Amino acid sequence: MKISIERNALLRAVSQAQSVVERRNTIPILSNVLIEAEGDSASFRATDLDIEVVDKATAMVERAGATTVAAVTLHEIVRKLPDGAQVKLTDDGASGRLTVEAGRSNFSLATLPKEDFPVMATSEYTANFSAPAPMLRRLFDKSKFAISTEETRYYLNGVFMHVAEESGGQVLRCVATDGHRLARIDADLPDGAATMPGVIVPRKTVGELRKLLDDDDMQVAVSVSESKVRFATPEITLTSKVIDGTFPDYTRVIPAGNTRKLEVDAAEFAKAVDRVATVSSERSRAVKLVLDEDRLVLSVNAPDSGNAEEELVVAYGDEPLEIGFNAKYLLEIAGQVDKENAVFMFNSSGDPTLMREGNDTSAVYVVMPMRV
Amino acid sequence: MTQPALCRSCLTPFPGGAPARCPACRSPRVIRHAELFDLTIAHMDCDAFYASVEKRDNPELADKPVIIGGGKRGVVSTACYIARIKGVRSAMPMFQALKLCPEAVIVRPRMAAYAEASRAIRAMMEDLTPAIEPLSMDEAFMDLTGTTRLHGAPPAVMLAKLVARMQSELGLSGSIGLSHNKFLAKVASDLDKPKGFSVIGKAETDSFLHDKPLGMIWGVGPAFQSSLEAAGLRTFADLKRWDRKDLAARFGSSGDRLWHLARGEDNRRVERNSRAKSISNETTFNTDTADTELLDGHIWRLSEKVADSCKAKGTAGRTVTLKLKRADFKLISRRTSLRDATQIADKIYRTARDLFEGEIASGPFRLIGVGLSDLCPEDQADLSGDLLDPDATRRAKAERATDKIRDRFGKDAILKGRALR
């Protein structure tokens, strides 16, 4: 193999690959990226056996071929090369080395045979559809904060992507929860998605997927089967196993009968929560909300370090209410609001509270209160 | 003959030295040491503590070999000195102990009685110094630096008085190690058990350690000892030949500590009240079992014990650990962290049960244990419910109500069905 490739294109391809590679590997080949050169492009493939990413970049291919080399090392080298440099990758097949040349820099890296590289088995996808990048970005960005890290509840370690019935018809829905908060985000159902099975997309995949979604004009090809999910742009194909488990019935978690309505400027609210939470350094800091006729008092009381209080003018017309929340959860949820107003629907101080953006029900959050 | 001396019987100090028998009371129990009245760091270790409490409370046991431990499959937690003559040691499997000493009387541990005795001893130590670091119920370090004027007597005298008081008021004996740091004090207390009083002074530290095996160091177990031996390190003399840097390179952070210990140096302070880092409970089965129902019952009872202990101490924890020992003695330990700290038995049980799910296939097991760590005060625990398990809040309330009933009517007033499995 002998190719010449522009440094920035190479950097992009290799950085996507090296982020999939697990840092601590007992199987050496899994630390490597498989480089395959043919026609007028080179592809860079990496896997952790659960996720596989293939990134194609335009290259001048002098001699087609393939080899594997340590992903992290190659990434580090390319990152340190000057912007705009032309990089030559040569693998003579005999020495077992890959040479990397750019200007006056010359590197020789150990390789492993391409035959040893585990390529993910192809899957029969039951649904194939195309979705605009901004839509997928919204679905996953707004839900991922609620993904659980508890390993015993492995079926919560991802975002549940599925088709749901709403009053206005079918929607594409993403749900994540860790038992303390829940996010339910809806989008219009793309053509061809109706046959899709519900899948739990793992946390790491959600993180990798995000890198495909920066371009507003990009259409992403999505393929889903019972066991795998694939997201593809013209350059990058991300294939991932889905979590083998049953996502709990979240519909009964979302309170429908909460009647006490608070409307508040989302940005002001988030800033105020952040300010009062400063006085406490406990891991589970509680913020107390005291609601009365159009008045909200936020307070934090940390016996060891001090206390704080802030008053906000809000729209609230129900009976007085006192309720406590974990400051971090409240901040994260308030941070999801893009619109001006956040609407909170309370029941009692012990029941789950619902939050949405204005009257928009396509993004709904639920948070469990805490004792204060 | 000019070494300062102290009579352990009548507690008379002889700064100018004394003959073999105490001139005041004719007792032969006279200790002599050049630095006797200058050393201030002590380690007190009760002699066969559990067994001594049992013998005290049941005089019939006095001349019999007594082993404290549970069941056939359990291990020896303490053996009295009569049983020790036969070779019985603590941590020895019970069947082996009974083979060595078939006539031994096995007594189930009565932790409440030991805890009470421990508190009484602790109160006596408090009279000597506030700087007490208990290592367990029956041993503690004491720093008596600067207490001579307060007591009108040097530490050695006060320590001899302490063990004399323990004997006369509590009917329990203990051994004292007196030295210039914790490491040597602990080593000293073990030199002349039972009812011992040993002193390691600064002057003889080097010659004392010279040919002693490194296994003597507290914290050097069989595994560490064999890796030390692999490096050709058996005695303190071997250790002293090594360069500080080489030791650090080979043994990491322990290396530096070894370098100091080789020179009899240990600058750790006597820390008052080093707080518990975890609360756990475990049980060894009479016969190995893979019975999921039975194990489930054990997980519940152990979780309940851990929760009870948390509630009694006003503490809670964020990390739940499940410990399993397989029939082949391989130890499996699985842990998970909770978002919210807890002291609720139901929550601990469910978490441990989830951890157990993944290990069912590894059975049969000979031991199971449940532990809680990453501890915090109880007012920071169980503050919020679980969206996906709305019943959890109700169950926690039921548990609190049960606790109240048990407080009034006894532990067995209310039991869960699964506690009977």
Q: Does the CB of B173 have a partner CB in chain A at under 8 Å?
A: no
Chain A contact for B384 (CB, 8 A cutoff): yes
Predicted complex: ipTM over 0.90: no
Instruction: Looking at the structure, tell me whether residues B299 and B401 fall in a common domain.
Output: yes
Q: Tell me whether B337 touches chain A (CB under 8 Å).
A: yes
Q: Do A321 and A346 share a structural domain?
A: yes
Tokens 């941070």 sit at which residue?
Answer: A335
pLDDT in tens, B282-329: 888 888 999 999 999 999 999 999 999 888 888 899 999 999 999 888
Interchain proximity B339–A180, CB inside 8 Å: yes
Same domain, A81 and A165: no
Rounded Cα–Cα distance for residues B130 and B140 (Å): 12
- Asked whether residue B78 is domain-assigned, the answer is yes
Residue-range definition of the domain harbouring residue A211: 127-252
Last residue of a domain, one of A57, A92, A116: A116
CB contact under 8 A, A178 and B354: no
For helices B155-165 and B111-126, angle between their N-to-C axes, nearest 10 degrees: 150
Whether B104 contacts B83, CB under 8 Å: yes
Q: Is the pLDDT of residue B1 over 60?
A: no
Q: What is the CATH number of the domain that holds B130?
A: 3.30.70.270
The pLDDT value given to residue B91: 82
Tell me the shortest Cα–Cα distance from B127 to chain A, in angstroms: 32
- Counted residue by residue, chain B has a size of 421
B224 and B346 share one domain: no
Contact B380 A150 (CB under 8 A): no
Domain membership of residue A56 (yes or no) is yes
Do B233 and B318 lie in one domain? The reply is: no
Chosen from B339, B355, B389, B397 to mutate, greatest number of chain A CBs within 10 A = B339
At residue B275, the pLDDT reads 65
In a domain, A337, yes or no: yes
Q: Is residue A330 in some structural domain? A: yes
Considering only CB atoms, B387 lies closest to which of A182, A324, A371, namely A182
What integer is the mean pLDDT of B229-237? Answer: 91
Partners of residue A41 on adjacent β-strands: A38, A58
Identify whether residues B39 and B186 lie together within a single domain: yes
State the count of interchain CB pairs (< 8 A) between A and B: 55
Cβ of B283: how many Cβ atoms within 10 Å?
A: 16
Same domain, B192 and B227: no
Asked whether the beta carbons of A178 and B384 are under 8 A apart, the reply is no
pLDDT band (50, 70, 90) for residue B4: very high
Instruction: Point out the domain boundary residue: A252, A282, A312.
Output: A252
**Would A121 be classed as within a structural domain?**
no
Residues B75 and B126 in one domain: yes
Residue A201 within a domain: yes
CA–CA separation, B184 and B207 (whole Å): 13
Q: Which of A368, A370, A371 to mutate to test the interface with B (most CBs of B within 10 A)?
A: A368
Check whether residue B187 and residue B303 sit in a common domain. Answer: no
A198 assigned to some structural domain? yes
SS3 of chain B: CCCCEEECCCCCEECCCCCCCCCCCCCCCEEECCCCCCCCEEEEEECCHHHHHHHHHCHHHCCCCEEEECCCCCEEEEECHHHHHCCCCCCCEHHHHHHHCCCCEEECCCHHHHHHHHHHHHHHHHCCCCCEEEEECCEEEEECCCCHHHHCCCHHHHHHHHHHHHHHHHCCCEEEEEECCHHHHHHHHCCCCCCCEEECCCCCHHHHHCCCEHHHCCCCCHHHHHHHHHCCCCEHHHHHHCCHHHHHHHHCHHHHHHHHHHCCCCCCCCCCCCCCCEEEEEEEEEEEECCHHHHHHHHHHHHHHHHHHHHHHCEEEEEEEEEEEECCCCEEEEEEEEEEEECCHHHHHHHHHHHHHCCHHHCCEEEEEEEEEEEEEHHHECCECCCCCCHHHHHHHHHHHHHHHHHHHCCCCCCCHHHHC
Residues A211 and A313 in one domain: no
How many CA atoms lie within 13 Å of B314's alpha carbon, on the beta-carbon side?
Answer: 3
Whether residues A261 and A310 share a domain: the answer is yes
Q: Are residues A28 and A141 in the same domain?
A: no
Residues of A in contact with B341 (CB under 8 A): 284
Which chain B residues are Cβ-neighbours of A156 within 8 angstroms? 388
Banded model confidence at residue B274, pLDDT cuts 50, 70, 90: low
A182·B338 Cβ contact <8 A: no
Q: Is residue B402 part of a domain?
A: yes
Q: Provide φ and ψ at B243, rounded to 5°.
A: -75, 145
Residue in this structure with the two tokens 């002590």, named with its chain if needed: B42
Q: Residue type for B206, please?
A: D
CATH of residue A283: 3.10.150.10
Instruction: Count the domains in chain A.
Output: 3
Question: Residues 393..412 of B with a Cβ closer than 8 Å to A: which?
Answer: 393
| Chain-chain contact of B380 with A284 (C-beta, under 8 angstroms) | yes
| A248 interaction partners in chain B (CB closer than 8 Å) | 388
Look at the alpha carbons of A28, A29, A30, A33 in this order and tell me if their dihedral is positive or negative: positive
Q: Tokens standing for A246?
A: 């049953």
Domain containing B222 equals 206-262
In chain B, residues with a C-beta closer than 8 Å to the C-beta of A179 are 339, 386-389
Same domain as B254, residue B188: no
What residues of B act catalytically?
139
Q: How far apart are CA B104 and CA B84, in angstroms?
A: 11
pLDDT computed for residue B385 by the predictor: 85
Domain presence at residue B292: yes
Instruction: Please check whether residue B25 is in contact with residue B12, taking contact to mean a CB–CB distance below 8 angstroms.
Output: yes
Number of domains in chain B: 3
Three-state secondary-structure class, residue A344: strand
Q: Give phi and psi for B344, each to the nearest 5.
A: -90, 125
CA distance to partner chain A, nearest, from residue B334 (Å): 10
**Neighboring chain B residues of A182 at a CB cutoff of 8 Å:** 387
B76/chain A closest Cα distance in angstroms: 35
Q: Is A261 domain-assigned?
A: yes
Residue % of chain B over a pLDDT of 70:
96
Distance CA B359, CA B334 (A): 9
Where a domain ends, among A231, A252, A273? A252
Among chain A, residues having any CB pair with chain B shorter than 8 Å are 150-153, 156, 177-182, 248, 250, 253, 282-284, 286, 324, 326, 350, 352, 366, 368-371
Domain of B368, CATH number, reads: 3.30.1490.100
The reply to whether B193 and B103 lie within a common domain is yes
pLDDT(B72) > 70: no
Burial of A170 per CB tally in 10 Å (0-12, 13-18, 19+) = middle
Looking at the structure, tell me whether residues B197 and B210 fall in a common domain. no
Asked if B387 lies within 8 A of A371 by C-beta distance, the reply is no
B354 contact residues in A (CB cutoff 8 A): 152-153
- Would you say residue B272 lies in a domain? no
Examine residue B97 and state whether it is found in any structural domain, yes or no.
yes
Give the DSSP letter string of A191-232.
TT-TTPPPEEEEHHHHHHHHTT---TT-EEEEEE-SSEEEEE
Rg for chain A, CA atoms, rounded: 25
Tell me if A221 is assigned to some domain: yes
**Residue-wise pLDDT tens digits, B176-223:** 999 999 999 999 999 988 999 999 999 999 999 999 999 888 878 777
For residue B267, tell me if it sits in a domain. Answer: no
Residues B62 and B163 in one domain: yes
pTM of the predicted protein model: 0.69
Structural tokens at position B323: 């410990």
Q: Does A193 lie in the same domain as A171?
A: yes
Q: CA torsion B298→B300→B305→B309, rounded to 10°?
A: 150
Interface residue of A160, A254, A284, A354 to substitute, partner B, most B CBs within 10 Å: A284
- Alpha-carbon distance of B370 to B309, in angstroms, equals 12
Per residue of chain A (372 residues), give pLDDT as tens: 999 999 999 999 999 888 999 887 788 899 999 999 999 999 999 999 999 999 999 999 999 999 999 999 999 999 999 998 999 999 977 788 999 999 899 999 999 999 999 988 877 899 999 999 999 999 999 999 999 988 888 999 999 999 999 888 999 999 999 999 999 999 999 999 999 999 999 999 999 999 999 999 999 999 999 999 999 999 999 999 999 999 999 998 899 999 999 999 989 999 999 999 888 877 668 899 999 999 999 999 887 788 999 999 999 999 999 999 998 899 888 888 887 789 999 999 989 999 998 888 899 999 999 988
Q: Are B190 and B222 within one domain?
A: no
Place of tokens 């469990």: A368
H or E element: which one contains A88?
Answer: strand A86-91
- Which of B161, B185, B203 terminates a domain? The answer is B203
- What DSSP designation does A288 have? E
Contacts of A366 in chain B (CB under 8 A): 387
